[in-house]
Amino acid sequence: MGQTVECFYTLSSPWMYLGGPQLSEILKRHGATLLLKPYDFRLVIKHTGGIPLRTRPEPRQDYHALELDRWSRYLKVPIKLKPKHYPPTDQMNAGRMVMAAQARGLDAFGLSQAILRALWVEDRDIADPRTRIAIAEEEGLPGEALHREEQSPSVDAEWDRNNQEAVQRGVFGAPTFFCGDLWLWGQDRLFFLDKHLAGEEVQSGPSAKIGKTRAA
């Protein structure tokens, strides 16, 4: 049986969008299972030290755009550097819709990538429930039902658990991956996940101890 890869991220992360195709290939290659854990970025980073993009100094925002452009070209994944609806007025319910799909055993990863593409490529407002319903239905999923389940007690409880767990495990950015004692931040480090799933040792000594601490 393949290993499980946990992914803490937000439904506004351009890096999750850009890394999606590569992540999908790695999972398929090793028969690994993906467990998506959307979380509230602003809530979690108060405890772990992340910085929202729009509050960073201008040079850092400029470099962020430069990196997005470079990675988009390198990965051949299109992206708009200044999408119309970024940052979304609400990305929480988009995350909850993905969680509802995952709970049903549906293609939550495909839905997640479609929502991110809608934000970063198609200039669609993912905060609008009508947009989310339409995106889900375009993916062949029951949009109306998933929208209703965004506010279900089970999804609400899972959302709270994701946030608590993200704080406990030191998540400060999106996407952050855990697999066994492997702890990774960013789509540009996915090659380490590939090596880990192949059975190669990518952490040793102090780094292995840190990984085990955060994986718990």
Please spell the DSSP secondary structure of 67-132, one letter per residue.
HHHHHHHHHT----SS-TT-S-S--HHHHHHHHHHHHTTS-HHHHHHHHHHHHHTS---TTSHHHH
Domain residues for 193? 4-215
Would the pLDDT of 62 be above 60?
yes
Share of residues in the chain with pLDDT > 90 (%): 78
Whole-number Cα distances in Å, 99 to 65, 107, 122, 146: 29, 10, 22, 9
| Contact yes or no for 32/5 (Cβ under 8 A) | yes
pLDDT tens-digit readout, 5-44: 999 999 999 999 999 999 999 999 999 999 999 999 888 8
In the structure, what pLDDT confidence band is assigned to residue 123 with cuts at 50, 70 and 90?
Answer: very high
Please state the domain count of the chain. Answer: 1
- Please list, in sequence order, all residues whose beta carbon lies within 8 angstroms of the beta carbon of residue 108, skipping any fewer than 6 positions away: 36, 98, 99, 101, 102
| Contact yes or no for 197/23 (Cβ under 8 A) | no
Would the pLDDT of 205 be above 60?
no
| 50 vs 69, higher pLDDT | 69
Instruction: Residue 117: give its domain's CATH number.
Output: 3.40.30.10
Three-state DSSP class for residue 1: coil
